[in-house]
Amino acid sequence: MSITRQDVEKIAALANLALTEEEIQTFTVQLSSIVSYVEKMNELDTTDVEPMSHSTLSGDTSYTRREDDPKPSLGADLALSNAPDSGDGHFKVPKVIG
Protein backbone atom coordinates (compact mmCIF):
# COMPACT_ATOMS: atom_id res chain seq x y z
CA MET A 1 0.00 0.00 0.00
CA SER A 2 1.45 3.30 -1.04
CA ILE A 3 0.52 6.57 0.61
CA THR A 4 -0.88 9.09 -1.86
CA ARG A 5 -1.03 12.86 -1.79
CA GLN A 6 -4.76 12.58 -1.03
CA ASP A 7 -3.98 10.38 1.99
CA VAL A 8 -1.58 13.00 3.36
CA GLU A 9 -4.08 15.79 2.77
CA LYS A 10 -6.81 13.80 4.54
CA ILE A 11 -4.53 13.05 7.51
CA ALA A 12 -3.55 16.72 7.69
CA ALA A 13 -7.21 17.77 7.64
CA LEU A 14 -8.07 15.28 10.40
CA ALA A 15 -5.17 16.61 12.48
CA ASN A 16 -6.17 20.20 11.68
CA LEU A 17 -2.78 20.90 10.11
CA ALA A 18 -2.10 23.38 7.34
CA LEU A 19 0.68 21.92 5.23
CA THR A 20 2.67 23.64 2.51
CA GLU A 21 3.07 22.04 -0.89
CA GLU A 22 6.63 21.07 0.03
CA GLU A 23 5.50 19.46 3.31
CA ILE A 24 2.81 17.46 1.51
CA GLN A 25 5.39 16.09 -0.92
CA THR A 26 7.88 15.35 1.87
CA PHE A 27 5.32 13.60 4.08
CA THR A 28 3.96 11.58 1.16
CA VAL A 29 7.43 10.15 0.52
CA GLN A 30 8.20 9.63 4.22
CA LEU A 31 4.87 7.97 5.09
CA SER A 32 5.09 5.72 2.02
CA SER A 33 8.53 4.64 3.16
CA ILE A 34 7.24 3.82 6.65
CA VAL A 35 4.29 1.82 5.31
CA SER A 36 6.58 -0.08 2.93
CA TYR A 37 8.87 -0.97 5.82
CA VAL A 38 5.96 -2.25 7.92
CA GLU A 39 4.71 -4.29 4.96
CA LYS A 40 8.18 -5.79 4.61
CA MET A 41 8.15 -6.75 8.30
CA ASN A 42 4.75 -8.43 7.80
CA GLU A 43 6.46 -10.83 5.37
CA LEU A 44 8.55 -12.33 8.17
CA ASP A 45 7.67 -15.85 9.30
CA THR A 46 6.97 -15.55 13.02
CA THR A 47 5.18 -18.86 13.52
CA ASP A 48 7.89 -20.23 15.83
CA VAL A 49 8.39 -16.99 17.77
CA GLU A 50 6.80 -16.91 21.19
CA PRO A 51 4.90 -13.76 22.10
CA MET A 52 6.69 -11.47 24.54
CA SER A 53 5.14 -9.28 27.20
CA HIS A 54 8.38 -7.34 27.70
CA SER A 55 11.34 -6.46 25.54
CA THR A 56 13.87 -8.54 27.47
CA LEU A 57 14.92 -11.93 26.23
CA SER A 58 15.76 -13.19 29.71
CA GLY A 59 12.37 -12.25 31.11
CA ASP A 60 13.98 -10.09 33.80
CA THR A 61 11.69 -7.12 34.20
CA SER A 62 12.86 -6.05 37.65
CA TYR A 63 14.24 -2.83 36.23
CA THR A 64 10.74 -1.83 35.10
CA ARG A 65 9.19 -2.16 38.54
CA ARG A 66 9.27 0.44 41.24
CA GLU A 67 7.44 0.99 44.46
CA ASP A 68 4.14 2.75 43.98
CA ASP A 69 4.61 5.25 46.76
CA PRO A 70 1.97 7.95 47.02
CA LYS A 71 3.42 11.44 46.87
CA PRO A 72 1.79 14.82 47.34
CA SER A 73 0.15 16.21 44.23
CA LEU A 74 1.27 19.36 42.46
CA GLY A 75 -1.75 21.33 43.63
CA ALA A 76 -4.12 23.46 41.57
CA ASP A 77 -2.47 26.80 42.36
CA LEU A 78 1.00 25.66 41.29
CA ALA A 79 -0.33 23.77 38.24
CA LEU A 80 -2.24 26.83 37.05
CA SER A 81 0.50 29.35 37.87
CA ASN A 82 2.03 29.21 34.36
CA ALA A 83 -1.19 28.63 32.43
CA PRO A 84 -1.85 31.25 29.75
CA ASP A 85 -5.51 31.39 30.80
CA SER A 86 -7.20 29.94 33.87
CA GLY A 87 -10.21 30.53 36.03
CA ASP A 88 -12.15 28.90 38.85
CA GLY A 89 -9.33 26.40 39.41
CA HIS A 90 -9.34 25.14 35.80
CA PHE A 91 -7.31 25.58 32.62
CA LYS A 92 -9.22 27.62 30.03
CA VAL A 93 -8.75 26.44 26.46
CA PRO A 94 -10.28 27.55 23.15
CA LYS A 95 -13.39 25.72 22.06
CA VAL A 96 -12.48 23.30 19.26
CA ILE A 97 -15.66 21.29 18.74
CA GLY A 98 -18.84 22.83 17.32
Pick from 33, 39, 31, 38: nearest CA to 12: 31
Tell me the torsion sign for CA atoms 55, 56, 62, 63.
Answer: negative
CA pair distance 64, 16, nearest whole angstrom: 36
User: CA distances (Å), 30 to each of 6, 24, 33, 77, 97, in order?
Assistant: 14, 10, 5, 43, 30
Mean pLDDT of 24-37: 95
Q: How confident is the model at residue 39 (pLDDT cuts 50, 70, 90)?
A: very high
Task: Sketch out the chain's domains with CATH numbers.
Answer: 1-44 (1.10.20.60)
Q: What is the distance of C-alpha 7 from the center of its chain?
A: 19
CB atoms within 10 A of CB 26: 13
Q: Is the pLDDT of residue 42 over 80?
A: yes
